[in-house]
């Protein structure tokens, strides 16, 4: 592969979606940090540099609500559902504004102990895998990885299966709004879908107000009204935010990890023989195929970084997929190793914006992986995997498998 041309470096290009890792490696080896005109940002490829930005309070989130708000005002657009969601998602806010929402959602996620969630997830896993044994095949991305997280989150909320999957269908693709250069029509379409989701959730909140239950929506209602002074639409937006926190990224994590396990039968046999390796498998698959490939910050003031001076207002692009394969942090970084040593990977972020649902997401992945271990004849059907056309998220479209 030729030396990367930094003038042409652009993570919207199709080759980044198909297989970004060779490009990451070549760029990191020759230009570990550089200014990209296409990205309008300093691009970071090393683990230590990305970790330094995550931990530096002078690097802030570019608040998407403000950016889209300026676009909407210029075009005379009204997007109330979208702006309510942007306001409710803690990772789109900066301190101190992000703290109340983050604390609120974390309290709802902790409705029950992790051990109770483990039983619920295991039951969903067995139910979703039943067609594999019955029919001899299924699509592990569409019918397993993409259904497990919304069914778990819906159960946490106290929703039935149809309502949970309705929310998943309605909210699918929200991650694309984080990609740069999106046209206003994308935000308009998402706003319409959000209004449908809010309508369902407002009805559910009305039922909980009449008859409280032991579920996440009842807890959200009680906390939201008593302690956080949230109105009806704000409650619906926070419920959507929490559902999203536990849905798309986790689905991508599971699908990507299953693809790796099926491509590495030796490691799969190791785990089947020693299930205690499942935790290591989750960490390693998350490192190798992170569902969130990149995130960005901007400098609130001028500050040095890796021998460069980042000017106030300049953006930095953290390539998590590259940092997770940095040989300075992980020997043999492209290999799938169950004995992996090294620092924590950056898949779930770090610092004040670390993923709220990390422990639950890892538990779902662990149990999803465990579900296929006792089926040694499982094999992938068809050609190379296809990926969703999303810049910031790496997520399988399909993973058809069959039992030998």
What is the tens place of the pLDDT at every residue in 132-166?
999 999 999 999 999 999 999 999 999 999 999 99
Q: With a cut of 50, which residues of the chain have pLDDT below it? A: 1-2
Count CB neighbours of 352 within 10 A.
Answer: 16
What is the tens place of the pLDDT at every residue in 295-329?
999 999 999 999 999 999 999 999 999 999 999 99
Contact 95, 352 (CB under 8 A): yes
Contact 280, 340 (CB under 8 A): yes
User: Which residues are paired to 380 by β-bridges?
Assistant: 401
Predicted pLDDT at 1? 45
Distance from C-alpha of 235 to C-alpha of 205, rounded to nearest angstrom: 8
Q: How many helices (H) and strands (E) does the chain have?
A: 17, 10
- pTM (2 decimals)? 0.94
Mean pLDDT, the chain, rounded, equals 91
Predicted pLDDT at 3? 54
Distance from C-alpha of 270 to C-alpha of 265, rounded to nearest angstrom: 9
What does the H/E/C string look like for 274-307? CHHHHHHHHHHHHHHCCCECEEEEEECCCEEECC
Alpha-carbon dihedral sign for residues 190, 191, 196, 198: positive
Contact 403, 134 (CB under 8 A): no
Strand order in the sheet with 378-380: 137-139, 400-403, 378-380
Residue 132's H or E segment, with its range, is: helix 114-135
Task: Count Cα neighbours of 366 within 13 Å in the Cβ-side half-sphere.
Answer: 17
Predicted pLDDT at 258? 97
What does the H/E/C string look like for the chain? CCCCCHHHCCCCCHHHHHCCHHHHHHHHHHCCEEEECCCCEEEECCHHHHHHHHCCCCEECCCHHHHHHHHHHHHCCCCHHHHHHHHHCHHHCCCCCHHHHHHHHHHHHCCCCHHHHHHHHHHHHHHHHHHHHHHCEEECHHHHHCCHHHHHHHHHHCCCHHHHHHHHHHHCCHHHHHCCCCCHHHHHHHHHHHHHHHHHHHHHHHHHHHCCCCCHHHHHHHHHHHCCCCCHHHHHHHHHHHHHHCCHHHHHHHHHHHHHHHHCHHHHHHHHHCHHHHHHHHHHHHHHCCCECEEEEEECCCEEECCEEECCCCEEEEEHHHHCCCCCCCCCCCCCCCCCCCCCCCCCCCHHHCCCCHHHHHHHHHHHHHHHHCCCCEEECCCCCCECCCCCECCECCCEEEEC
């Amino acid at each position: 592969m030729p030396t990367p041309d930094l003038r042409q470096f652009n993570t919207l290009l199709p080759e980044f979606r198909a297989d970004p890792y060779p490009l990451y490696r070549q760029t990191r080896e020759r230009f570990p940090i550089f200014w990209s005109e296409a990205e309008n940002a300093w691009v970071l490829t090393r683990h230590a540099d990305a970790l330094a930005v995550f931990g530096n309070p002078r690097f802030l989130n570019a608040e998407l609500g403000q950016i889209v708000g300026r676009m909407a005002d210029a075009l005379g657009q009204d997007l109330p559902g979208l702006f309510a969601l942007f306001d409710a998602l803690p990772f789109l806010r900066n301190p101190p504004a992000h703290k109340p929402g983050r604390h609120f959602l974390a309290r709802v996620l902790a409705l029950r102990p992790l051990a109770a969630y483990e039983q619920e997830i295991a039951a969903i896993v067995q139910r979703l895998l039943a067609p594999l044994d019955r029919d001899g095949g299924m699509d592990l991305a569409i019918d397993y990885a993409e259904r497990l997280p919304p069914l778990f989150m819906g159960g946490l909320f106290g929703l039935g299966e149809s309502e949970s999957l309705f929310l998943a269908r309605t909210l699918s693709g929200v991650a694309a709004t984080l990609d740069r250069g999106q046209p206003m029509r994308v935000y308009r379409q998402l706003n319409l879908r959000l209004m449908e989701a809010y309508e369902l959730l407002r009805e559910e909140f009305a039922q909980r107000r009449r008859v409280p239950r032991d579920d996440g929506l009842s807890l959200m209602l009680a906390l939201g009204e008593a302690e956080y002074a949230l109105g009806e639409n704000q409650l619906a937006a926070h419920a959507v935010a929490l559902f999203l926190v536990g849905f798309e990224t986790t689905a991508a994590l599971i699908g990507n990890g299953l693809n790796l396990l099926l491509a590495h039968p030796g490691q799969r046999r190791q785990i089947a023989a020693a299930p205690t390796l499942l935790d290591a498998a989750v960490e390693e698959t998350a490192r190798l195929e992170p569902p969130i490939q990149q995130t960005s910050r901007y400098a609130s003031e001028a500050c040095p970084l890796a021998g460069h001076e980042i000017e106030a207002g300049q953006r930095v692009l953290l390539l998590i997929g590259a940092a997770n394969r940095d040989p300075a942090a992980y020997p043999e970084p492209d290999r799938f190793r169950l004995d992996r040593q090294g620092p924590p990977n950056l898949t779930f972020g770090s610092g004040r914006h670390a993923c709220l649902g990390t422990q639950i997401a890892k538990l779902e992945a662990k149990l999803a992986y465990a579900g296929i271990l006792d089926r040694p004849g499982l094999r992938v059907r068809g050609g190379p995997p296809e990926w969703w056309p999303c810049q910031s998220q790496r997520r399988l479209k399909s993973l058809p498998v069959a039992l030998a």
